[in-house]
């Protein structure tokens, strides 16, 4: 552990400048529930911590163009307390609320979950399914990036030097839409996803699926957007055949590893099982 400096700037430009100026030895500190653990185990040894929690944009939830802009450092507990957000995006909120425990919920953020770039991050498949877009602020200004394009591998992101995720935008959805997220863990909580599936879908007046997005976690180096799985649902009323196709497409998209958290066979199998369950929850929610 090296000597560590701590800065808590009040605007994004200052934070970005500090980050760019530190030559890779700085880390953004949101809730710290990943970062502090990694520092304790010498996985990362930053010399500068840039706390972004004093920056208003990262701490607010605001309605925008019929959708929601969620600050990257808003803790999970506050997501659940926002009734409008929870009603509009129940799947994203339930995914974020699965993170850790009550204590961890007081800190853990969507931005941290995304930028930590763990393939097993719970909120990410749900955000991918939601079509969420990250607003990235950097030395060269601002850009909007689809959530599925942030992580490039375990612990790696596409963020350039000095870039920070300021907020995450959850777009407006048509009426009769619903989303859901489920993960498989051997225990009931305080565990890491062996597989995670998020699905968002929209129905027409007859209950036929008109649009769908399927996000899949913990079965590949990054969380995946699985178009083939969405295609299995679109045009169907989620009948048995569509569900079979969904499960098959999800399983086919899996390229997991055999590790202490599960075998290839098990993960691939469970991904399909979860996808069916998630789809039917999202379907029920959309029909309400």
Partner 1 sequence: MPDEVNTEFKWVGKRNPRPDGVDKVTGRAKYGADLYLPGMLVGKTLRSPHAHARIKSIDTSKAKALAGVKAVVTSADFPAIPKPPGPHGPMISDFRDNSMNMMARDKVLYDGHPVAAVAATSEKIARQALKLIEVDYEVLPHVIDPVEAMKPDAPILHDDQVTEGEDEKTAKPSNVYRIPRAQKGDVEKGFAEADLVIEREFTTKAVHQGYIEPHACVAQASDDGVELFCSTQGQYVDRGSCAKLLGLDISKIRVTSSEIGGGFGGKIPIYSEPVAIRLAQLARRPVKMVMSRDEVFRATGPTSGAHVRIKIGAKKDGTITAAEGEMTYQAGAFKGASIGAAMNCMFSPYDLENIHVWGYDVCVNRPKVAAYRAPGVPMAAFGVEGVINELADELGIDRVDLRLINAAKEGTQNVMGMKYGPIGFQEMLEKMKAHPHYNAPLGENQGRGLAAGYWLHAGGMSCASVNVSDDGTVTLIEGNPDIGGSRASMAAMVAEELGIDYNKVRPIISDTSSLGFTFLTAGSRVTFATGMACVLAARNAIKVACDRAAQMWGVSEEEVVWEDGHARPAGANVGDHEPMSLAEIAAKAPMTGGPIAGHAEINATGQGPATGAHLVDVEVDRESGHVKVLRYTVFQDVGRAISPDYVEGQLQGGAVQGIGWALNEEYIYDDKGRLENPGFLDYRVPVASDVPMIDVCMIEVPNPNHPYGVRGVGETPIVPPQAAVANAVENAVGLRFRDLPVSPPKIRKAIKDAGG
Ligand X SMILES: Cc1cc2nc3c(=O)[nH]c(=O)nc-3n(C[C@H](O)[C@H](O)[C@H](O)COP(=O)(O)OP(=O)(O)OC[C@H]3O[C@@H](n4cnc5c(N)ncnc54)[C@H](O)[C@@H]3O)c2cc1C
Q: Can you give the binding site for partner 1, defined by CB under 8 A? A: 1, 41-42, 184, 186-192, 259-263, 265-266, 269-270, 273-274
**Of 91 and 100, which CB lies nearer to ligand X in the complex structure?**
100
Strands 156-157 vs 151-153: parallel, antiparallel or unpaired? antiparallel
- Dihedral pair phi/psi, residue 249, rounded to 5°: -65, -40
Both tokens assigned to 242? 């569509």
DSSP 229-244: HHHHHTTS---HHHHH
Binding partner at 178 among partner 1, ligand X, none, C-beta below 5 to 8 Å by kind: none
**Of 29 and 281, which CB lies nearer to ligand X in the complex structure?**
29
* Residue among 40, 61, 62, 58 at smallest CA distance from 50: 58
For the bound state, the minimum distance from the C-beta of residue 85 to partner 1, rounded and expressed in Å, comes to 26
Among 13, 104, 211, 234, binds ligand X (CB under 6 A): 104
Binding partner at 28 among ligand X, partner 1, none, C-beta below 5 to 8 Å by kind: ligand X
Binding partner at 104 among ligand X, partner 1, none, C-beta below 5 to 8 Å by kind: ligand X
Strand partners, 144: 135
For the bound state, the minimum distance from the C-beta of residue 264 to partner 1, rounded and expressed in Å, comes to 10
* Cα→Cα distances 115→105, 124, 131, 232, 277, Å: 17, 10, 17, 30, 28
x/- site string to ligand X, residues 9 to 28, per CB under 6 A? ------------------xx
Q: How far is residue 222 CA from its own chain's centroid?
A: 11
Rounded Cα distance between 44 and 26, Å, is: 10
Q: How far is residue 181 CA from its own chain's centroid?
A: 11
Binding partner at 264 among partner 1, ligand X, none, C-beta below 5 to 8 Å by kind: none
**Those residues with Cβ within 8 angstroms of residue 51's Cβ, 6 or more apart along the chain or in another chain:** 6, 7, 8, 29
Considering the rule CB under 6 A, would residue 70 count as an interface residue with ligand X? no
Both tokens assigned to 165? 């995720």
Considering the rule CB under 6 A, would residue 31 count as an interface residue with ligand X? yes
Among 121, 127, 203, 250, binds ligand X (CB under 6 A): 121
Burial class of residue 210, CB neighbours in 10 A (0-12, 13-18, 19+): middle
Binding partner at 261 among ligand X, partner 1, none, C-beta below 5 to 8 Å by kind: partner 1
Considering the rule CB under 6 A, would residue 134 count as an interface residue with ligand X? no
For the bound state, the minimum distance from the C-beta of residue 209 to partner 1, rounded and expressed in Å, comes to 23
Among 78, 122, 148, 179, binds ligand X (CB under 6 A): 122
**Of 67 and 76, which CB lies nearer to ligand X in the complex structure?**
76
Do residues 117 and 153 lie in contact, with contact meaning Cβ atoms separated by under 8 Å? yes
For the bound state, the minimum distance from the C-beta of residue 47 to partner 1, rounded and expressed in Å, comes to 13
Binding residues for ligand X, per CB under 6 A? 27-35, 37, 52, 72, 98-100, 104, 107-109, 111-113, 115-116, 121-122, 164-165
């Amino acid at each position: 552990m090296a000597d560590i400096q701590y800065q808590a700037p009040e605007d994004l430009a200052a934070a970005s400048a500090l980050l760019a100026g530190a030559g890779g030895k700085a880390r953004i500190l949101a809730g710290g529930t990943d970062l502090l653990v990694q520092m304790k185990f010498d996985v990362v040894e930053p010399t500068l911590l840039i706390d972004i929690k004093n920056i208003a944009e990262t701490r607010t939830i605001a309605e925008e163009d019929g959708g929601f802009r969620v600050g990257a450092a808003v803790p999970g507990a506050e997501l659940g307390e926002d009734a409008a957000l929870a009603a509009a995006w129940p799947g994203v909120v339930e995914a974020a609320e699965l993170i850790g425990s009550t204590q961890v919920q007081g800190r853990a953020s969507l931005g941290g979950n995304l930028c930590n770039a763990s393939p097993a991050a719970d909120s990410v498949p749900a955000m991918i399914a939601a079509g969420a877009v990250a607003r990235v602020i950097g030395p060269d200004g601002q850009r909007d990036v689809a959530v599925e394009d942030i992580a490039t591998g375990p612990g790696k992101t596409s963020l350039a030097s000095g870039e920070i995720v300021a907020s995450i935008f959850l777009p407006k959805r048509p009426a009769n839409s619903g989303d859901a997220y489920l993960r498989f863990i051997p225990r009931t909580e305080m565990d890491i996803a062996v597989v995670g599936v998020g699905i968002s879908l929209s129905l027409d007046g007859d209950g036929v699926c008109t649009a769908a997005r399927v996000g899949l976690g913990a079965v590949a180096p990054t969380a995946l957007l699985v178009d083939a799985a969405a295609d299995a649902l679109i045009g169907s009323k989620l009948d048995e055949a569509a569900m079979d196709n969904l499960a098959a497409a999800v399983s086919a998209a899996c390229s997991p590893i055999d590790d202490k958290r599960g075998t290839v066979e098990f993960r691939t199998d469970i991904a399909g099982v979860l996808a069916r369950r998630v789809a039917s929850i999202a379907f029920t929610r959309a029909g309400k």
